[in-house]
Amino acid sequence: MRGFSRFFGKELQEIARTWRLFVLPGIMLFFAVSGPILAKMTPELLTSLTTSQPGVVIKLPEPTYVDAYVQWAKNLSQLVVFALLIVSGGIVAAERTTGTAVLVLTKPVSRAGFVVAKFLAQSGLVVVATLVGTTVTWGVTFAVFGKAPPAKLFEAAGTWLAFAILLLSITLLLSCALSTIAAAGTAILVYFAILLASAWGPAVRWSPAGLVGAPMNVVMAQPGEVGWPLATCVALTGVFVLAAIAVFNRQEL
């Protein structure tokens, strides 16, 4: 992959100097701070609302750190996933549309190096944002509830991260073939297809569909095996990156 290291460094600098540094990490940081506070306040808010309704009584259990962890797992598996797919739709397509890819590839950078550098730089952003967000969630949870065992929280974030990188590799492939909007839209449809597959037992046991509900299962200490889902997730991530390279090699720029 000729020119990979130099172009990879350029991608990291671009992330650090542009809006990409703030969008996805900013969304995750917002949920990391607000999630534990919302988990703590929700029962009180519901109780205060029912006091104005005579005869209506709602009894809720006292919130714990688990509720904060559940809130983080939900945000990752829902809103953050959509943000990731939308932001990553133009990872290659935007460069093709603006003609930047042509300028880059006239220099000593191979097409494979171009694609892999894009993927690894974006993956690095997701990894760092997830680590920071999970750490902030743990800290705020501890401050709010006075107790926050970190193991389950970080394990749940790790299973989500593997799934997120797989979705990123799918979006990378789509971005090599389609426009930014089409790539993001198709990636969201693929995500919904995986969600549907997660209702089928064999898919949950043997495919990445088993990672859809894994973060929630981990934080709630529910049984679930993620060995095969993680293994197939890693394998398919590699397949999609290789497919993205093959598609990009055939693109006329």
Q: What is the pLDDT of residues 156-195, one digit of tens each?
A: 999 999 999 999 999 999 999 999 999 999 999 999 999 9
More confident position, 34 or 45: 34
Amino acid sitting at position 75? N
Q: Above 60 in pLDDT, residue 107?
A: yes
Question: Which pLDDT score, from 0 to 100, does residue 3 have?
Answer: 67
What percent of the chain has a predicted confidence (pLDDT) above 70?
A: 91
Confidence of residue 61 (pLDDT cuts 50, 70, 90): confident
User: What is the tens place of the pLDDT at every residue in 211-250?
Assistant: 999 999 999 988 778 999 999 999 999 999 999 999 999 8
Mean pLDDT along residues 125-131:
96
Instruction: Extract the tokens encoding 70.
Output: 């559940």
Lowest mean pLDDT of 16-20, 23-27, 42-46, 167-171, name the range: 42-46
Confidence of residue 59 (pLDDT cuts 50, 70, 90): low
Contact between 169 and 237 under an 8 Å Cβ cutoff? The reply is: yes
More confident position, 75 or 44: 75
Distances, alpha carbon 81 to alpha carbons 27, 53, 70, 212, in Å: 11, 38, 16, 11
Strands of 73-176, DSSP E: none
Between CA 216 and CA 110 the distance in angstroms is 41
Question: Which pLDDT score, from 0 to 100, does residue 56 have?
Answer: 54
- For residue 84, the tally of other CB atoms under 10 A from its CB is 27
What does the DSSP 8-state code read for residue 207?
S
Question: Which pLDDT score, from 0 to 100, does residue 46 have?
Answer: 63
Q: Which residues contact 212 (CB under 8 A, 6 or more apart)?
A: 77, 163, 194, 195, 198
Best CA proximity match to 161, nearest among 194, 124, 189, 190: 124
- Using a cut of 0.85, tell me whether the model's pTM lies above it: yes
Best CA proximity match to 32, nearest among 78, 81, 72: 72
